[in-house]
């Protein structure tokens, strides 16, 4: 069953990346830009076919995908510096020449850099936008179609003992009162209750005094007398975990699937985007903690950052969890939520305004549009496209940092994995 979850994650990743690259390819070809390749995977080519000047194919390693758009970089100004102090071509000039090689004679107008800023924005935002749509679809299916588990007023389990064991001298209060799984709690003390939140609040308000509890059992109303006891329980707040003494009766709720209105999906999508952005802001600190856990062997927190291997492990945990109450539909819903979270991460991460990410190209196109507008207002000549090739050294630095981050997370996910259960 673990393998099934991992397989789902791999397929979800390939579909997400494949559609992301289509988000770049379709508008680029629509605007007449030359797109030479569209591939799923990396490494040796397993299959390919050329259609309308674009080679579509599948490669051996299912670790992502790419689309090759010709002429991403402009040729640069005539007075640019092309050599470094050693007499070798600068990294920027090498990048310009590589970009120019993709354009054959007579195809100069099909270069990406010749697009106006608005069309550049459409092409480069097309990829992340598809991931946002996929995240929305996943949430829509889960929240409005499958539904999410919600604790109900029906008793799911009744603990036999205070300490959670099955044999003891003193039974838990609910068991001692005769409460059974399947009882529907209608009233606790002086409060009518309709959901689990109301039950928890009523138990806390009743304290440890004997309390009349009305339940519906087999269609008939029954009154029980429950006397809660104070028990130590862990509580978590912004300050961390602590142990508190609370009234305890020894019951847990049965869960029922609840579907949400489509309008709730928008709010859930916004909350997911906000949480993802906050996680990216905490990324440096999270990487430091992950690296430290490899040295100190500390257990990684369940809400810490994970790499693609860790996400695959979580998918495996979902499909292999040993719980009769955790049915197939619930597992599928959680897998879809995981896929939606993956797409939201791709959306937010790709908007970081650094090359070679899509956000870097979006920033360049935005700057180009502002610079051209300012030149028109001042009556000056069109300054032309932004020479993003000058940022090639920065692009290499970002790529190296990304590779290092990926390597760290892969090692951590294998050596000290995060587990949900």
Q: Is the dihedral of CA 228, 229, 230, 235 positive or negative?
A: negative
Q: Go through the domains of the chain in sequence order and give each one's CATH number.
A: 115-147+260-421 (no CATH), 149-258 (2.30.42.10)
CA distances from 280 to 163, 284, 399 (A): 41, 8, 17
Six-digit token pair at 21? 């690259």
* Catalytic annotation, residues: 21
Residue 5, φ and ψ in degrees, nearest 5: -65, -40
Instruction: Count, in order, helices (H) and strands (E) of the chain.
Output: 11, 10
Q: What is the average per-residue pLDDT within 82-101?
A: 84
* pLDDT > 70? residue 23: yes
Q: What is the pLDDT of residue 412?
A: 87
Q: What is the pLDDT of residue 239?
A: 54
* pLDDT > 80? residue 279: yes
Q: What is the average per-residue pLDDT within 219-227?
A: 92
* pLDDT > 80? residue 72: yes
Per-residue model confidence as pLDDT tens digits over 343-393: 999 999 999 999 999 999 999 999 999 999 999 999 998 888 988 888 899
Q: What is the pLDDT of residue 222?
A: 93
* Nearest CA among 338, 310, 315, 322 for reference residue 405: 310
Q: What is the pLDDT of residue 22?
A: 96
Six-digit token pair at 35? 């797109």
Q: What is the pLDDT of residue 2?
A: 74
Do 395 and 360 form a contact (C-beta atoms < 8 A)?
A: yes
* pLDDT > 70? residue 262: yes
pLDDT above 70 coverage of the chain, percent: 95
* Nearest CA among 349, 417, 360, 346 for reference residue 389: 360
* Angstrom distance (rounded) from CA 285 to CA 305: 10
Per-residue model confidence as pLDDT tens digits over 375-386: 999 999 888 898
Look at 112 and 289; give whichever has higher pLDDT: 112
What's the pTM?
0.84
* Angstrom distance (rounded) from CA 229 to CA 211: 12
């Amino acid at each position: 069953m673990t393998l099934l979850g991992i397989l789902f994650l791999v397929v979800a990743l390939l579909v997400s990346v494949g559609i992301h690259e289509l988000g770049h390819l379709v508008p680029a070809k629509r605007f007449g830009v030359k797109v030479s390749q569209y591939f799923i995977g990396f490494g040796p080519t397993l299959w390919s076919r050329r259609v309308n000047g674009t080679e579509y194919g599948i490669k051996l390693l299912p670790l992502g995908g790419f689309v090759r758009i010709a002429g991403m970089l402009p040729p640069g100004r005539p007075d640019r510096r092309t050599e470094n102090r050693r007499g070798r071509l600068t990294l920027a000039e090498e990048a310009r020449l590589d970009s120019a090689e993709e354009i054959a004679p007579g195809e100069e107008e099909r270069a990406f850099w010749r697009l106006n800023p608005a069309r550049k924005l459409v092409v480069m935002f097309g990829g992340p936008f598809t991931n946002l749509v996929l995240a929305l679809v996943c949430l829509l299916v889960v929240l409005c179609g499958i539904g999410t588990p919600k604790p109900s007023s029906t008793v799911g389990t009744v603990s036999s003992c205070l300490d959670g064991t099955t044999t003891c001298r003193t039974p838990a209060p609910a068991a001692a009162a005769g409460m059974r799984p399947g009882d529907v709690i209608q009233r606790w003390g002086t409060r009518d209750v309709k959901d689990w939140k109301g039950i928890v609040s009523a138990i806390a308000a009743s304290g440890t005094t004997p309390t009349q509890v009305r339940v519906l059992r087999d269609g008939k109303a029954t009154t029980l007398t429950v006397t809660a006891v104070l028990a130590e329980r862990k509580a978590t707040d912004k300050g961390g975990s602590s142990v508190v003494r609370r009234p305890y009766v020894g019951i847990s709720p049965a869960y029922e699937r609840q579907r949400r209105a489509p309008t709730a999906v928008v709010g859930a999508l916004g909350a997911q985007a906000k949480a993802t952005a906050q996680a990216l802001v905490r990324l440096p600190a999270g990487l430091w903690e992950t690296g430290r856990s490899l040295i100190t062997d500390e257990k990684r927190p369940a809400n810490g950052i994970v790499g693609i291997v860790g996400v695959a492990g979580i998918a495996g945990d979902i499909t292999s969890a040993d719980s009769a109450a955790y049915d197939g539909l619930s597992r599928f819903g959680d897998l879809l939520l995981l896929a939606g979270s993956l797409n939201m991460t791709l959306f937010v991460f790709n908007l970081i305004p650094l090359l070679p990410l899509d956000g870097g190209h979006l920033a360049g196109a935005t700057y180009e549009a502002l610079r051209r507008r300012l030149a028109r207002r001042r009556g000056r000549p069109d300054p032309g496209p932004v020479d993003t090739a000058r940022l090639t050294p920065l692009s290499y630095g970002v790529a190296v940092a990304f590779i290092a981050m990926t390597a760290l997370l892969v090692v951590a996910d294998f050596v000290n994995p995060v587990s949900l259960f």
